[in-house]
Amino acid sequence: MRAIGDESTSLQRALELLPSTLRKANTTFVNLRTTLDDLDQLVNVSKPNTKELAPFLTALRPAVHDARPTIADLAQLIRAPGPNNDLIELTAKQPRLAELTATVFPRAIRTLDRTDPIVEYIRGYTPDLSAWLTKFGQITAYYDANGHYARVMPVFSPTQLDRVNNRLDAIPPDQRLAGFEHGTRPTCPGSATQPSPDGSSPWPFRGCDPASGPPSEDPPG
């Protein structure tokens, strides 16, 4: 009784707050009753679907265990101690990067658009270019006492092939350098050698002349 009397002020304060507390609790309990009724329906519907939950969680446990290092690395990637070393700081610098690239990227795009025809044209001759790079070293395969040397044979095109009659016709001297003076001949990709029997080469590309390559190994009948 002496202990209660020592806390008379606190007890009086508690008794003053008790009526309002009970009123608020009454409203809460009424709402809770309605919530529990709705929750019963959810529980009844969920019961059939929870039968396989235990096996699923058992099978999920190894995946969760293996995912822990990945999640830890992801957390380190998103937020790491120190400056300029995580995704949050990278995202914060995106506006500045956008300002810097606002003028550079459009110029790069225009440059790429202008080079599209060149790249498209070169792409057709990629096999020929690769073959030239890989076989070019063979011209110095010959050697003598002084070491390797290249065998070079100049060609002035004194004749041209008459494909209709399968014969060589002489070219006038004033026309023998026409191909070298006015640019290369419009040869097609793959026309550096005889046409393939399956017709895969030469490849008609960008208006080139498929007949500009060497004649087939089999003479026309």
Express each pLDDT in 62-98 by its tens digit: 888 889 889 988 888 898 888 888 888 888 888 888 8
Please give the Cα distance from 60 to 84 (Å, whole number): 36
Structure-token pair, residue 216:
């087939």
pLDDT at 217: 57
Mean pLDDT across 125-134? 80
Task: Answer yes or no: is pLDDT of 221 > 50.
Answer: no
Average model confidence (pLDDT) for the chain?
79
pTM: 0.35
Mean pLDDT across 159-168? 78
Task: Answer yes or no: is pLDDT of 60 > 70.
Answer: yes
pLDDT at 212: 67
Mean pLDDT across 24-44? 84
Mean pLDDT across 145-173? 76
Residues in Cβ contact with 66 at an 8 Å cutoff, skipping those fewer than 6 apart: none
Query: Within 10 Å of residue 118's Cβ, how many Cβ atoms?
Result: 9
pLDDT band at 184 (very low <50, low <70, confident <90, very high): low
- Domain assignments of the chain as residue spans, ordered by start: 87-118
pLDDT at 114: 92
Mean pLDDT across 136-156? 74
User: 62, 87, 84: which is closest to 76 by C-alpha?
Assistant: 87
pLDDT at 220: 46
Residues 104, 110, 111, 116: is their CA dihedral positive or negative? positive
Q: HEC string of 30-50?
A: HHHHHHHHHHHHHHHHHCHHH
**Beta-strand runs (E) in the chain:** 143-144, 147-148, 159-162, 167-170
pLDDT band at 110 (very low <50, low <70, confident <90, very high): very high
